[in-house]
Amino acid sequence: MMKKRYLLLSATAVLAPLALLQGAAPAAPARAADPARKPNILIIVADDLGYSDVGAFGGEIRTPNLDALASRGLKLTGFHSAPACSPTRSMLLSGTDNHLAGLGNMSELLAPNQRGQRGYEGYLPSDIVSLADRLHDLNYATLMSGKWHLGTRAEDSPARHGFDQSFDLAQGGGNHYGLDISKKPGDFGTTYWENGQQLATLPANFYSSDTYATKLIEFLGKADKTKPFFAYLTFTAPHWPLQAPDEDVARYKGKYDAGFEVLREHRLARQKALGLIPQNVVAHPIEVLKGSKRWADLSPLEKAEHSRAMEIYAAMVDRMDQNVGRVIAHLKATGQYDNTIILFTADNGAEGLDVARAEIPGLSLRVKAADNRLENWGKPTSYIGYGPGWAQAATAPSWLYKGFTTEGGTRVAAFIDWPGGKRSGVSGVYGTVMDVVPTLVEAAGGEWRGSSYAGRTVQPVRGSSWRPYLTGAAKRVHAPDEHVASELFGRRAVRQGDWKAVNLGDGWRLFNLADDPGETRDLAKSEPKRLAALAAAWDGYGKQVGVILPSTPATFP
């Protein structure tokens, strides 16, 4: 009988189907490791980035700095997040299931029956040990700049979870120019903290990506140079509201006038040319969801609006990349780059939410208060998103986008640049954000196993270390006979090997991802026993981690 492990792995797709993508072949390392020193660690997280937005993953947006890092490292085409941001962040920093790490649902979207329940606190509970705590105890300087989204109280701040220096946005998003900052505790709006103290004002000329990079560089400069560093750089770009400097937006004028279906086909062709997806892949078709249209059915004004939104979005990705370049330039100038592990990932699939029509408390008020004349789009006083058409262009060949337990919601663009690593190029080996803690703690010479830490009982790490795989000692990270499961917004998924079952609230579907990575052919009727076994495995997982299915329908999309 196959061994069963009920793990929360937010992704639900199997390893890539072709032998080419089953595992990267060993190759000479791009950078030599210094065995006498512990490695520095830099994690970069993009917010709502589409799978193919970055050039190295098939996109046309200008991202030379991320592309250069990806080309030196290992592109992870099988890496997965949760379907939404705060659950992913709880998993990434804890190494465990989001239901056990306090983010069984986003705190903003809790259903009535989830409020006040264990696993749905909206912050990291006391039995969670963060990655920063673990690395701090291994004598690392721990630094954080950007989006936190793991609680808004003073006791929830990064300063209380192992970071020596931190500058953070507590909420899940906000005006990229800081116009919605709260002036004092209790005000409605976004809250920013620096080293555990709430800020009443922001730095001059604040723009999220610029300021987050500037602050991290400042913290790197102040850090104890006798210690290795762990730096956590978490952008809010390109999360809505779509806002970017004029000079960056101008670079993309007219570039998206052909529409999202055309962009999708161009990116698919580029992914094939780069060896990221099989040549014969069958992509899931764009779904016309409630309130959305195909490009040909849009009016001239609607086309102009959609094109403009995508231009601004591209500018945000471009600007984020520029700031990644600033951080990398600092590491090179200070001689720290060659001994730094760099992990880049998005926090979920592309965001398809129609912000203008979303019925989410607080969001509707901000949209109504904004100056959303077309000529003002992208400016500090606008508040828009880009909708499901562009999101599905970015997640192709996968099905759907953020908020769903399908591949489009959970398979993310990611790469790791590991000094001294034995693998490069493209790897389709399955991985999850829960693997980050064991991988990096192991790289730092620490121990991550067990249910006790510093004399207290804690949630054990549920991810697996990538270190044996990256150093060439193993062929995979996760065993092929594991049952891996996930849930968010009542949407469920479970997989075993090449098989995946998914339930979006309308019954279970079954896919063989080796033959159908786009999740286009439902095999539920032809494989009823297999589907029943997978559904039973999900039930076991749900009981083990304490899933409370929401009493109200999902808000996304």
CATH number of the domain residue 196 falls in: 3.40.720.10
- The stretch 377-399 carries a mean pLDDT of 97
- 53-57 CB contacts, 8 Å cutoff, 24+ apart: 53/238, 53/317, 53/350, 53/394, 53/413, 54/317, 54/321, 54/413, 56/274, 56/413, 56/415, 57/271, 57/274, 57/276, 57/413
Which pLDDT does position 186 carry in this prediction?
A: 58
Token pair belonging to 32:
């030599």
- The stretch 199-204 carries a mean pLDDT of 95
Q: Catalytic site residues?
A: 85, 149
Q: How many CB atoms lie within 10 A of CB 449?
A: 10
pLDDT over threshold 60, residue 308? yes
* Strand ranges inside 182-314, DSSP E: 192-194, 197-198, 229-234
77-120 residue pLDDT tens: 999 999 999 999 999 999 999 999 999 999 999 999 999 999 99
Query: pLDDT class for 3, splitting at 50, 70, 90?
Result: very low
Query: pLDDT class for 513, splitting at 50, 70, 90?
Result: confident
Whether 531 is covered by a domain: the verdict is no
- To which H or E segment does residue 247 belong? helix 246-250
Whether 387 is covered by a domain: the verdict is yes
Asked if 405 contacts 486 with a C-beta cutoff of 8 angstroms, the reply is: yes
Cα 493 from Cα 487, distance rounded (Å): 7
- To which H or E segment does residue 441 belong? helix 436-443
pLDDT over threshold 90, residue 482? no
Query: pLDDT class for 188, splitting at 50, 70, 90?
Result: confident
Query: pLDDT class for 17, splitting at 50, 70, 90?
Result: very low
Whether 459 is covered by a domain: the verdict is yes
Whether 374 is covered by a domain: the verdict is yes
86-98 residue pLDDT tens: 999 999 999 999 9
DSSP 452: E
Which pLDDT does position 182 carry in this prediction?
A: 87
Phi, psi for residue 367 in degrees, rounded to 5: -65, -45
CA distances from 422 to 24, 38, 40, 303 (A): 9, 18, 18, 47
Q: DSSP assignment of 180-207, as one string? A: TB-SSTT-SSB-EEETTEE-SS--TT--
Whether 352 is covered by a domain: the verdict is yes
| Cis peptide preceding 185, ω within 30 of 0 | no
Whether 520 is covered by a domain: the verdict is no
- This prediction's pTM: 0.94
Cα 386 from Cα 52, distance rounded (Å): 16
How many domains is the chain built from? 1
241-293 residue pLDDT tens: 999 999 999 999 999 999 999 999 999 999 999 999 999 999 999 999 887 89
Cα 242 from Cα 77, distance rounded (Å): 27
Whether 2 is covered by a domain: the verdict is no
Whether 236 is covered by a domain: the verdict is yes
Please name the residues in contact with 329: beta carbons below 8 A apart, sequence gap of 6 or more. Answer: none
Asked if 432 contacts 91 with a C-beta cutoff of 8 angstroms, the reply is: yes
DSSP 49: -
Q: Coil, strand or helix: which one is 405? A: coil
Cα 442 from Cα 22, distance rounded (Å): 24
Give the range among 13-27, 172-186, 235-249, 416-430 with minimum mean pLDDT. 13-27
Structural domain for 77, as ranges = 7-476
